[in-house]
Amino acid sequence: MTVNISDLTALLKNSLRAIAVTAALTLSAVSAAQEYTVNLKDTDIQEFIKFVADVTGTTMVVDPNVKGKVRVISSKPVSQAELYDLFLSILDVQGYTAVRSGQVIRIVPSKDARSSPVPIMEDQAAIGNDEYVTQVIRLDNISAAKLIPVLRPLVPQQAHMAAYAPSNAIIISDIRSNIGRIVDIIERMDRSAIQTTEIIRLKYGVAEDVVSMLNTLEKSRQGEGAEADKEAVLVADKRTNSVVVTADELSVDRIRKLVVYLDTPLEQSGNVRVIYLEYADATEIAEVLTRVMQNISRLEEGGSNKRAGGGESTIEADEGTNSLIITADTDEMAALEAVIARLDIRRAQVLIEAIIVEVTVLEGQELGLQWLFANDNGVYGSNITTNEARRNSLSQLGGALVPDDGSENIGTREVAASLATIPGTTLGWGVVDESLTMTVILNALESQGNTNILSTPSLLTLDNEEAFITVGQQVPFVTGSYTNTGVANGASNPFQTIERQSVGVTLKVTPQINEGDAVVMDIVQEVSSLGPALIASDIITNERKIETMVLANDGNIVVLGGLVEDKVTDSSEGVPVLSS
């Protein structure tokens, strides 16, 4: 079915006929084959808008400023969809446009359309009718800002076009057909750019630091979906202190701007820093850092690359506040602060509990015979024993048995006193008369002795710090003597030189905590004591000493060592011939 519209104004003047046409057009919405031949001559645009709204079944809101006459010449029938496209083209020629807002279409002047709530069109729907819409077009390889001057002459004056640099996109508001044409042009221009290489020399910054920062920024951009810069390559040239960039033109331009921003002179006021230490000793840390900086300076002097902005760094320690006063440029200051943070840590402590045990077992058996014979001619006797007390007792006994003044009480007391000093069991026999005295003493002794020396020193020290403990005495040892006898006046002034040495228990440990709970210990342990001596020059010291390095887990018990000595002495004394 074909409806010929030759004069819409005349058609609408006849109300009955208008109703019939409206009814016919309404029926055409159901018939897919219905077409319209539109020929208009000076028809009021308001009437034409109303006619199209009735045919398409849409609600249209017309701006009061929409006025004018419409003239259309067509010899070919059009469908309902083509009629709507023809309607939009007529509006565009008249300086008006249609803006869709939900189910309502607003007819407004084209110059006011971009400030209206225009619908946003998806990328895949770029080509369509001439409704006024807004579309965001993202670019992958070229700069959106650089493309705007090229595209601006291709859009109407009333259209809106702008570039958004952060997402490298173009925002355009225009009729759909124009936007489709612009999208086609952009797709042809937004091709993969040729990779270029540029060398950017630095004046103040350090190439390695700048490249490290730029690489971090590039990785973050890739994480946000900026695929255009994924092939950008940044390399630091230490010899010339330059940044070498290989990327497309867009990336090179952006990276160049970042480098210029980062390559700024250092602020001299920030070159001095005071760092207070919490655990480490400021003097020791200052010595370590000074040696490190000296080694770095020697390496730089031996090479051909001098760090940009590098100056003379100084590190001083203030013992009163346990702080470091550092003068250095920014990059060296940052490196020193990082090192100090790793050195100034709370160090672990190690508690060492030692047990020093010494056991001595003594067993002895003695058997002795002593005899004495005395008459007017003298005293004769013998003692077969090695005990000094028995020899003395026998001598006293002999003196007591020799009459001196005829007093028997004195002799008896001397005999009793002599026998009392003899250890062990004593069995004796004696005969005393006026002309003869004879005495025989038999002595037997068995002895046992046990000695248990126990010492438990404890030490608490820091990791890698030597700890030392000693418990004992300062014993004088004679190292020399002198006397000036034989001088003119005959006076003598003897003297001795003495050196005092520690005698007792000494423990020295240097622990080192390894990864996990293992501890390496460098141990020196010594136990010394005095032996029997008569005078200072003959002092004898007994010494037991061990030096070792062991590895033990936390809480474990380690046996360092020991020495077992078994000594047996068998001796006999007697009178030749008689004792055999």
Rounded Cα distance between 479 and 323, Å, is 48
Rounded CA separation 372/367 (Å): 17
Residues 53, 83: Cα–Cα separation, whole Å? 11
pLDDT of residue 562: 77
Structural domains for the chain? 2-109 (3.30.1370.120), 118-189 (3.30.1370.120), 196-262 (3.30.1370.120), 268-346 (3.30.1370.120), 362-448 (no CATH)
Q: Residue 40: what pLDDT?
A: 79
Crossing angle of the two packed helices 144-151 and 176-189, in degrees rounded to 10? 130
Count CB-CB contacts under 10 A for residue 505.
Answer: 21
At residue 23, the pLDDT reads 29
Three-state helix/strand/coil letters over 251-278 = HHHHHHHHHHHHCCCCCHHHCEEEEECC
318-351 tens-digit pLDDT: 998 999 998 887 778 888 888 999 999 888 889 9
Among 399, 408, 405, residue whose Cα is nearest residue 433: 408
Element (H, E) at 101: strand 96-101
Predicted confidence (pLDDT) at residue 551 exceeds the cutoff of 80: yes
Q: Record the tokens describing residue 574, joined without a space.
A: 């007697």
| 17-44 confidence digits (pLDDT tens) | 333 333 233 333 334 457 777 777 888 8
Distance CA 22, CA 50 (A): 11
Residues 6+ away with beta carbon under 8 Å from 476: 498, 499, 500, 536
pLDDT at 160 > cutoff 50: yes
Give residue-wise pLDDT tens across range 484-530: 665 556 556 677 788 888 888 888 999 998 888 889 999 998 888 88
Q: Which residue has the higher pLDDT, 386 or 462?
A: 462
Q: How far is CA 492 from the centre of its chain?
A: 75
Q: Which two tokens stand for residue 52?
A: 């199209």
Buried b (16+ CB within 10 A) or exposed e, 247-270: bbbbbbebbeeebeeebeebeeee
330-343 helix and 282-302 helix, angle to the nearest 10 degrees: 140
Statement: residue 407 has pLDDT above 70: no
The answer to whether the predicted template modeling score (pTM) of the entire model surpasses 0.75 is: no
Residue whose token pair is 């000693």 = 470
Query: Taking CA 269 as the corner, what is the angle to CA 263 and CA 272, rounded to the nearest 5 degrees?
Result: 105
